[in-house]
Amino acid sequence: MIKGLGEKTVKLLNQCGIYRAEDLLTYYPYRYEVFNPTDVLTLSGEFIQTVNVLVESEPVVSYIRRNFNTLRFRVSALNKVFQVSIFNRAFMKPHIEVGKKITIIGRYDEKKNTFLASDIKLKAITSLQIKPVYHLVRGLKNANFEKWLQEVMKLPMDLDVKIPFEIEKRYHFISQTEAFGAIHFPKCAEDVKRAKVRFIYEELFEFMFKIMYLKEKETKAIGLPHVISDEKVNDFVLSLPFELTKDQKQALADGLQDLKSEKRMNRLLLGDVGSGKTIVAFILMYANVLSGYQSVLMAPTEILATQHYQSCKKFFDQYPVRIELLVGSMKASEKKKVFSDLSNQEVDIVIGTHALLNDQVVFANLGLVVTDEQHRFGVNQRKNLQNKGYRSDVLYLSATPIPRTYALTIYGDMDTSMIATKPQGRKPVRTLIKKEADVKEILQAIYHEFQLGHQIYVVAPMIEESEMDDLKDVHFLKEKFELAFRDKVNVGVLHGKMKASEKDQVMKSFEKGEIQILISTTVIEVGVDVPNATMIVIFNAERFGLATLHQLRGRVGRNNLQSTCILISNQEVERLKVLEESNDGFYISEKDFELRGQGDLFGVEQSGDMSFKMADLKRDYKILLQAKNDVIDYLKSGDYFQSAYYRDLTNKIDFTN
């Protein structure tokens, strides 16, 4: 993409998601450093300052120990004379010549009359300079990144035009090329602002375009004629070990009606964690099978897919329904068998992960597509699965309890059913906030649960020892716990870097109760269901957003026992108290939204279509609504046929049937 980049560099860039020259341009700085040269008369110990000085003496290097030296020299500015000291810049010595004008950046120590520099610019900075800082992987340098950007800016490029010209004019946005210049090489703060305004609108416009385009398609979409025996469905519902809640019944009725109607089902089933969405999906999948079609359910992780598969098998144990699993870690031969069984309609229900998107997955007769935790998938992925059927009905499950007004906008293309109340008899999870110093008390609480025959989740934010010592790493905790409980307790470890088969093994042991304490990263966040687990302990709770913590807490409280959630944080974090107060996901999401904006709305890993580079759904909500209106007009006018970018986008998300 850029001439002369080594293979290694290209690899590192790829790690940052940069493959083409254009990608460099949309890799925006995460902050800026401002160098505003000050007058030496205002030297202050309290601020990092940028000062232009004259070198007055030859630098002297002292070697203190290996890899540690200081460079010292005298400078003057406006008749004030002082020392400059900087660590590990011995190599600069020959370049710092007496009489030369340079710029030093750092802090002044009045007592010692010494300027403790953190950086020295041999070419003096004479006027305000704004330097972008990029989040780069190890091995890439900010300065090089800037150089590449400069080169890329000179290349003739066929950039995607994402804001229609009319709109660009109407809002007086700066042009795309100008905006790239302004964001990467700003001359003043105003430049950054102008660029941001454009990019934020651009992201939201594109986002709303996808949604509104889909909505328009949806209202016209014709579904499959499902002829369903209500009696058989009812028989199954009556055979369940529990009675469906009122909301579940309503959601089921909505879904059944969709299946029977001529319109294609395009329904979002929203419900807090543990509200019982899965069973509703299973019943609808069964109803679909009863009318002669195949059903598919796609989940975001193997753990979750496997669990759904197992519980589905259990529910339909006595019913003539053929159920299969399809996940990436299965042997090629096993997958092949599933592929052929699917195409011969020897499978009624298949449950799996992204592996379902494989070209070799061909259904004989797909009637219903269910996507669990839909926010984890992008529109394209969801549609790809849907496209494996002909006019298949579509159901999305989501545990993201987002405020209603936002839901209406960002899920504007779907009908929604909501499960607002949890199954009866569930006790709210008791939530406590503790400090690490309370470790004894916490260990006792864990041991107490263990003695009652219950199981415990422990969540740590990191996988490996990190740069920050106080973050608890899963292996470190395992050792500590084993020591504390003198090996009476079986402790298991689960994290994202393990092989799928290993994860599976650990999860199975935990489900069977062979492991009593499961220490994990947030891989358990979505959907895992082990009713015997009654306690969850979360380290460094301040690192997580409320929505994630609520999801994690949702792993317990899945039976009629009293469950406990212990949030450990050494910092006073006001927002954690929201969790102490409430078990209501919708209330919590409102609060989270108020306190932090969109930040964590969709959990730790943002993916799918909701991950924006610059826009923030809360902060920019007004812009979102504006973009939505603009998109509606744009679609109505049909002008998007003339835009290569949007025509392409519609082709990508268009249904083939």
Long-range contacts of 134-143 (CB under 8 A, 24+ apart): 134/27, 134/29, 134/30, 135/30, 136/12, 136/16, 137/12, 137/15, 137/16, 139/8, 139/12, 140/9, 140/12, 140/13, 140/16
Strands (E), 163-272: 266-271
423 is a contact residue toward ligand ADP (CB under 6 A): yes
275 contributes a contact to ligand ADP by CB under 6 A: yes
Distance, CA of 475 to CA of 645 (rounded, Å):
48
- Residue 141: CB atoms within 10 A of its CB come to 10
Smallest distance, Å, CB 616 to Mg ion? 27
The answer to whether residue 585 forms part of the interface with Mg ion (CB under 5 A) is no
CA distances from 499 to 302, 328, 495 (A): 11, 11, 9
The CB-of-375 to Mg ion minimum distance in angstroms stands at: 12
CA distances from 84 to 53, 58, 70, 107, 280 (A): 10, 11, 10, 10, 71
Q: Shortest gap between Cβ of 576 and Mg ion (angstroms)? A: 24
CA dihedral 444, 445, 446, 448 (to 10 degrees): 80
Task: Choose the contact partner of 75 out of ligand ADP, Mg ion, none; CB within 5 to 8 A by kind.
Answer: none
Alpha-carbon Rg for the chain in angstroms: 29
Query: Which one of residues 23, 218, 529, 605 is an interface residue with ligand ADP (CB under 6 A)?
Result: 529
Task: State the residue for tokens 């304490």.
Answer: 517
Closest distance of CB 293 from ligand ADP, Å: 23
DSSP 3-state assignment of 556? coil
User: What phi-psi label fits residue 520: left (phi over 0), alpha (psi between -120 and 50 degrees) or beta?
Assistant: beta
Output 246 or 435, the one with its CB closest to ligand ADP. 246
Nearer to ligand ADP, 29 or 276 (CB): 276
Buried b vs exposed e over 447-485: b needs ≥16 C-beta within 10 Å?
bebbeeebbbbbbbbbbeeeeeeebbbbeebbeebeebb
Choose between 531 and 599: whose C-beta lies nearer to ligand ADP. Answer: 531
Q: If you ran DSSP here, which 8-state letter would residue 364 be given?
A: S
In the complex, minimum distance from the CB of residue 296 to ligand ADP, in angstroms, rounded to a whole number = 17
Least separation in angstroms between CB 522 and Mg ion: 15
# binding residues, ligand ADP (CB under 6 A):
19
For residue 14, count other CB atoms closer than 10 A to its CB.
Answer: 12
Tokens 């007496």 identify what position?
A: 98
Distance CA 132, CA 147 (A): 12
| Interacting span for ligand ADP (CB under 6 A) from 10-18, 159-167, 180-188, 276-284 | 276-284
Taking CB within 5 to 8 Å according to partner kind, which of Mg ion, ligand ADP, none is near residue 531? ligand ADP
Closer of 392 and 551 to ligand ADP (Cβ): 551
Kindly indicate which of the ranges 73-81, 149-157, 237-245, 577-585 contains the residues binding ligand ADP, using the contact rule CB under 6 A.
237-245
Q: CA nearest 621: which of 601, 645, 650? A: 601
Please report how close the Cβ of residue 518 comes to ligand ADP at its closest, in angstroms. 17
The residue within the footprint of ligand ADP, chosen from 37, 527, 557, 585 (CB under 6 A), is 527
In the bound complex, what is the minimum distance in angstroms from residue 226's beta carbon to Mg ion?
24
Residue 223 binds which entry of ligand ADP, Mg ion, none, with Cβ cut-offs from 5 to 8 Å by kind?
A: none
User: According to CB under 6 A, which one of 223, 271, 300, 389 is a site residue for ligand ADP?
Assistant: 271
Helix (H) or strand (E) run with residue 431 in it: strand 430-434
> Cβ-closest residue to Mg ion?
527
Q: In the beta sheet, which residues pair with residue 326?
A: 352
SS3 category, 32: strand
Instruction: Give the binding range for ligand ADP (CB under 6 A) out of 271-279, 383-391, 512-520, 618-626.
Output: 271-279
Q: Which is nearer to Mg ion, 186 or 527 (CB)?
A: 527
Distance in angstroms (rounded) separating the CA atoms of residues 517 and 94: 60
Site for Mg ion contains 554 (CB under 5 A):
no
Q: Which of 43, 208, 399, 535 binds ligand ADP (CB under 6 A)?
A: 399
Nearer to ligand ADP, 502 or 605 (CB): 605
Q: In degrees rounded to 5, what are phi and psi of residue 554?
A: -65, -10
Dist CA 509 CA 501 (whole Å) = 12
Give the nearest distance from C-beta 307 to ligand ADP in angstroms. Answer: 9
Q: Which residue has the tokens 């997955």?
A: 361
Does residue 297 contact residue 285 with C-beta atoms inside 8 Å?
yes
| CB of 279 vs Mg ion, minimal distance in Å | 10
Residues 527-546 interacting with Mg ion (rule: CB under 5 A): 527
- Of the candidate residues 278, 548, 551, 589, the single one contacting ligand ADP (CB under 6 A): 278
Residue 296 makes contact with ligand ADP by CB under 6 A = no
- Determine the Cα–Cα distance for residues 132 and 142; give it in Å rounded to an integer: 8
* Residue of 50, 176, 248, 521 interacting with ligand ADP (CB under 6 A): 248
* 558 near ligand ADP, judged by CB under 6 A: yes
In this chain, which of 29, 132, 274, 461 binds ligand ADP, going by CB under 6 A? Answer: 274
Q: Which is nearer to Mg ion, 373 or 609 (CB)?
A: 373
Q: How far is the CB of 566 from ligand ADP (least distance, A)?
A: 21
Give the whole-angstrom CA distance, residue 143 versus residue 105.
17
Residue 379 Cβ vs Mg ion, minimum distance, rounded to whole Å: 21
Q: Which stretch binds Mg ion (CB under 5 A): 218-226, 520-528, 561-569, 608-616?
A: 520-528
Name the segment binding ligand ADP (CB under 6 A); options: 136-144, 525-533, 544-552, 633-641: 525-533
Positions touching Mg ion (CB under 5 A) are 527
Chain residues binding ligand ADP by CB under 6 A are 242-245, 248, 271, 273-279, 399, 423, 527, 529, 531, 558
